[in-house]
Amino acid sequence: MKTFKLALLTVLLFAFTGLVHAQHLTILHTNDMHSRITGDGPEVDYTPMVTNNDEVLGGFARLATLLKEEKAQNPKGTLVLDAGDFLMGTLFNVNEPNTGFQLAMMKQMGFQFTTIGNHEFDYGPNKLGEVIENAIKNGGIPQIISSNLTPDYNSPKDSVLAKYFKDGTILPYKVIDVKGVKIGLIGILGINAADDAPLKTPVVVENQIKTAGAMAKMLKEEKHVNLVICLSHSGVYPDGKGGFYGEDVKMAKKTKDIDIIISGHTHVVVPQPFKVKNTLIVQTGAYLHYLGKLDFDVKDGKIASYQYKLIPINDKIKGDSAINAEINDYKKVIAIKYLSPLYLGYSEPVAETSFNLMKHNKKGYQYTSLGHFLDHAIRSYVDADGGGTDITLLASGTVRDNILKGKTGVITPPDVFRVMSLGMANDNLPGYPLARIYLTGHELKNLMNVLLLSTDDDGYVFVSGMKAYYNPHKLMLTRVKRIDVDGKQINTSKKDTKLYSVTANTYLLSFIGRVKKLSHGLVNVVPKFKDGQPIHDMSKALIDFDKNKPGIQEGSEWLGVIRYMQKLKDTNGNGIPDIPVKYDKPYSNRIVVK
């Protein structure tokens, strides 16, 4: 009897002690890594095994070292989390469906949980399924948490991914115990992120707030967790007044059981956690510029106190040698499979620049030189090797990175690919393929009227070969009064049937084919072949860049930019073509107020 009383007293004592003494936990977190495995900057500048000699941020070798050091400070109480968009953005992501290299390396470095962002769907659900499948074979994956995605188990377009929802490889939530603290994790894909993933079909995205609220409530009331952590690929934006707004703020306001939101998608650096009701929200920006570290004490099942810092991932950190060696070996695989057939080398200089070409500044995309340089480069590529075109279009939303001078000014194929890294032409040519359609003058006018509706920088379209003049005081969709092609005014009446060739990637051209639907029937633009017949399948309009070979030899924007760079003059005599200094300034807008 005494033994029983002593045991009972011991249990009560430990229980009481657990309530009185807080448990110290640590969250290390990332978001929107976008396959920046070798850092975010000029490829030739990145030297992870040498400290204090480059300005490139990020990289997996440095991240591996940092994670190891930080986890050692609280080995039993540290969670390593990611909020999605770990894929897409560099040449590394191109081969992911075949190897799962990056996802397996994340597991190797210590990531425990991640969620699915919009760019994980860039090659479609089944390709994401293949990434997961091969990563499991090659070392395993972090646990994927996805609470508001519902796969289509009956669709062949979703069969590979769907099985991983079914077998628990992808979970709607997970309950874990960390130093006696019971934690529930959920993962959310936001509304805007879902809209940015057109190839996710037939996967259905359930209402983010309803799902998160119901899931968090269930975890608190039925699973009796102390804390709920949400990996949210939804995002926040600065409000210009020292605060933030956005989908994650809205979710925190409308749910009461989420304690921490690890935010992603919007690429916003949140220097310190901000609180919305009882929810802490954090985000690290993007591209592994920072690792977020949230230290907090849990007392009586609640966060009693916390400290936070963003740790720069820079060249003060010496990279992990084993991780770096694996990456260097994999670069050779990428070079052999994707660059060698194009007569390119991974570290081969294709051009050099004496200035930065930036995709964006405070005024917007249209006031920078990079978009215009890219548009001119693609136009030159099509004119030289693709049969020519009257007009080229380039969507600013598909321009993903800058071209930076760095230490040497040298630009390599991986640097160019990062700028235009979305999509896949075929198994050996990454990037959206280029296609050519034909429109009448009236349809060009309609198209420009539609483009005027876009107030979002990501919706801005660079145009080469055409200029529109408009009256801002007219009603929407009637503002454009004149169209010039090749410097000459064209007939824009409905009666004129003359066709003009328009070249762009297939992603942008598919949008043009949906103008009527998107404008609720107010505007109609019908992509056509040269003979005037409507195009129902954009793959039939692909440009053949080598008619001496059988079949269609596809071309993509990033390759076109490289081919243009290779033809530039070498102005300093070192054997490397130079970006003309004329691009070191903004170009005139393609729409003029008149």
- 411 beta partners: 351
| Whether pLDDT at 12 is above 50 | no
Give me the pLDDT at residue 274, please: 97
Place of tokens 């529930």: 184
Contact 123, 199 (CB under 8 A): yes
Give me the pLDDT at residue 69, please: 97
Place of tokens 């017949």: 533
**pLDDT tens, residue by residue, 114-159:** 999 999 999 999 999 999 999 999 999 999 999 999 999 999 999 9
| Whether pLDDT at 460 is above 90 | no
| Whether pLDDT at 309 is above 70 | yes
Give me the pLDDT at residue 436, please: 97
Place of tokens 């004329």: 582
For the ranges 66-70, 123-127, 523-527, the one whose mean pLDDT is highest: 66-70
Contact 203, 247 (CB under 8 A): no
Q: What is the mean pLDDT of residues 545-563?
A: 92
Distances (CA, A) of 234 to 208, 250, 317, 528: 9, 10, 30, 37
Place of tokens 């200089």: 349
The separation between CA 262 and the C-alpha centre of its own chain, rounded to angstroms, equals 17
Burial status of residue 261 (CB atoms within 10 A of its CB: 0-12, 13-18, 19 or more): buried
Q: What is the mean pLDDT of residues 508-523?
A: 78
**pLDDT tens, residue by residue, 564-586:** 999 999 999 999 999 999 888 76
CA distance 283 to 32: 10
**pLDDT tens, residue by residue, 24-34:** 999 999 999 99
Give me the pLDDT at residue 228, please: 98
| Whether pLDDT at 289 is above 80 | yes
| Whether pLDDT at 592 is above 60 | no
Give me the pLDDT at residue 15, please: 43
**pLDDT tens, residue by residue, 383-422:** 999 999 999 998 888 888 999 999 999 999 999 999 999 8
**pLDDT tens, residue by residue, 223-281:** 999 999 999 999 999 999 999 999 999 999 999 999 999 999 999 999 999 999 999 99
For 68-72, 331-335, 547-551, which range has the lowest pLDDT when averaged over its residues? 547-551
How does the average pLDDT of the chain come out, rounded?
91
Token couple for 345 = 């080398």
Contact 11, 258 (CB under 8 A): no
Domain architecture of the chain: domains with CATH: 21-321 (3.60.21.10), 348-593 (3.90.780.10)
CA distance 137 to 129: 13
Give me the pLDDT at residue 13, please: 43
Burial status of residue 513 (CB atoms within 10 A of its CB: 0-12, 13-18, 19 or more): middle
Give me the pLDDT at residue 522, please: 82
Q: In 367-405, which positions are buried (b, 16+ CB within 10 angstroms) versus exposed (e)?
A: ebbbbbbbbbbbbbbbeebbeebbbbbbbbbbbbbbbbb
DSSP assignment letter at 59: -
Confidence of residue 454 (pLDDT cuts 50, 70, 90): low
- Pairwise pLDDT comparison (344 vs 473), residue with the higher score: 344
| Whether pLDDT at 163 is above 60 | yes
For 140-149, 210-219, 531-540, which range has the lowest pLDDT when averaged over its residues? 531-540
Confidence of residue 100 (pLDDT cuts 50, 70, 90): very high
Give me the pLDDT at residue 386, please: 94
Token couple for 264 = 């992603």
Give me the pLDDT at residue 517, please: 73
| Whether pLDDT at 198 is above 50 | yes
- Pairwise pLDDT comparison (19 vs 574), residue with the higher score: 574
What's the whole-model pTM score? 0.89
